């Protein structure tokens, strides 16, 4: 009886769902944030309602945007009714789906806890299969082209809208991942691997990937600065540049900029 009660307490956790078959888990805290944004029309106010900082709230939204097939929130320009942030139709459907699944999840946990007395023994082993990464740029999309060469395989991935990126991986890696057209993958790019360029024309650099967007925000540091670039398809790139470069390029929110990175700097990941 005591073992069953102990299992019940361990299993009685908040629900998390995957945004799609291969994506990271969607937590109840993120859904709560979306609900507050929909109710208040403001990220700042929603963050206060949830008891988190604006930066934490924005990072949560950013992860949702980068992992979703289409935007879940939309910023509205000022006007007669004022500006703000609203949920898209996809965002509202996501919230409704989560809440419906949450109800069924509670029933499932109650039943599972009654018959799973050894959960605590194996829980640490199970958790080892799930990892987090420090790479901020995790862009999810679908494989559009797989071109195998003598040594390497070129993979083109659609990441939303008309945005596409190219990855160059080994043939062995491509075979192990069993890449195919339409397959969902995550593209990981280190912040320091991204070079920022300004100008109307496509930069003349050797990097295969040259994505145009607008500066969303800049976080200045003593030595390095982080620049967030929003792409047309709502995905967000993080670049780490020197403090001097930020000043020389005169980057401000709204500035048009190109995010450039080599195909060999893209790491592809998927789940079995």
Residue pLDDT, tens place only, 88-131: 998 899 888 888 888 777 777 666 666 555 555 555 555 545 55
Identify the burial level of 16 via C-beta atoms within 10 angstroms of its C-beta, where 0-12 means exposed, 13-18 middle and 19 or more buried. middle
The domain tally of the chain equals 2
Q: What is the pLDDT of residue 157?
A: 95
Average pLDDT, the chain: 81
Q: 161 and 98, same structural domain? A: no
Residue 104 is part of which domain span?
Answer: 2-127
Does the pLDDT value for residue 264 go beyond 70? yes
Q: What is the pLDDT of residue 4?
A: 39
Q: What is the pLDDT of residue 6?
A: 41
Does the pLDDT value for residue 262 go beyond 50? yes
Q: What is the pLDDT of residue 63?
A: 85
Interval 242-270 mean pLDDT: 91
Q: 104 and 160, same structural domain? A: no
Q: Does residue 36 fall inside a structural domain?
A: yes
Eight-class DSSP state of 270:
-
pLDDT, greater one: 11 or 270: 270
Q: What percent of the chain has pLDDT over 90?
A: 39
Q: Which residue has the tokens 């930020």?
A: 246
Q: 194 and 75, same structural domain? A: no
Q: Does residue 70 fall inside a structural domain?
A: yes
- Can you list the alpha helix ranges (DSSP code H) found in the chain? 2-11, 28-40, 43-50, 54-67, 89-115, 119-127, 171-177, 243-249
**Residue 73 sits in a domain of what CATH number?**
1.10.10.10
Q: 144 and 107, same structural domain? A: no
Say how far apart CA 234 and CA 213 lie, in whole Å. 9
Q: Does residue 132 fall inside a structural domain?
A: no
Q: What is the pLDDT of residue 101?
A: 82
Interval 186-212 mean pLDDT: 91
**Residue 207 sits in a domain of what CATH number?**
2.40.50.100
Say how far apart CA 157 and CA 141 lie, in whole Å. 6
pLDDT band at 74 (very low <50, low <70, confident <90, very high): confident
Q: What is the pLDDT of residue 243?
A: 84
Torsion of CA 205, 207, 211, 217, to 10 degrees: -80
pLDDT, greater one: 215 or 117: 215
Residue pLDDT, tens place only, 134-164: 788 988 889 999 999 999 999 999 998 888 9
Q: 43 and 11, same structural domain? A: yes
Torsion of CA 243, 245, 247, 251, to 10 degrees: -110
Q: 155 and 61, same structural domain? A: no
Q: Does residue 215 fall inside a structural domain?
A: yes
Nearest Cα to Cα of residue 60 among 92, 27, 35: 27
Alpha carbon separation from 213 to 94, 185, 216 (Å, rounded): 26, 22, 9
**Tokens matching residue 61:** 């939204």
Q: Does residue 45 fall inside a structural domain?
A: yes
Q: What is the pLDDT of residue 2?
A: 41
Q: Are 135 and 187 in contact (CB under 8 A)?
A: no
Q: What percent of the chain has pLDDT over 70?
A: 78
Strands 137-148 and 152-158: antiparallel
Contacts of 222 (CB under 8 A, 6+ apart): 243
């Amino acid at each position: 009886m005591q073992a069953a009660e102990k299992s019940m307490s361990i299993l009685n956790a908040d629900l998390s769902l995957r945004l799609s078959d291969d994506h990271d888990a969607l937590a109840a805290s993120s859904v709560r944030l979306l609900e507050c944004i929909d109710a208040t029309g403001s990220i700042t106010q929603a963050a206060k309602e949830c008891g988190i900082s604006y930066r934490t709230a924005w990072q949560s939204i950013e992860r949702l945007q980068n992992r979703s097939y289409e935007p879940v929130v939309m910023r509205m320009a000022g006007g007669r009714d004022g500006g703000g942030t609203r949920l898209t139709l996809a965002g509202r459907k996501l919230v409704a789906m989560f809440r419906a699944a949450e109800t069924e999840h509670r029933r499932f946990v109650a039943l599972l806890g009654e018959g799973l007395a050894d959960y605590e023994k194996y829980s640490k082993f199970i958790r080892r299969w799930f990892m987090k990464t420090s790479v901020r740029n995790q862009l999810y999309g679908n494989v559009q082209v797989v071109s195998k060469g003598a040594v390497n395989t070129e993979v083109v991935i659609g990441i939303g809208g008309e945005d596409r990126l190219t990855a160059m991986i080994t043939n062995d890696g491509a075979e192990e991942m069993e890449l195919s057209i339409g397959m969902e993958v995550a593209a990981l790019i280190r912040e320091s691997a991204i070079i920022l360029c300004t100008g109307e024309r496509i930069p003349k650099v050797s990097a295969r990937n040259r994505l145009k967007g607008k500066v969303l925000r800049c976080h200045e540091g003593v030595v390095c600065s982080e620049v967030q670039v929003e792409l047309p398809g709502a995905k967000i790139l993080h670049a780490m540049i020197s403090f001097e470069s930020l000043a020389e390029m005169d980057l401000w929110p709204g500035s048009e900029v190109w995010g450039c990175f080599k195909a060999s700097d893209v790491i592809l990941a998927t789940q079995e």
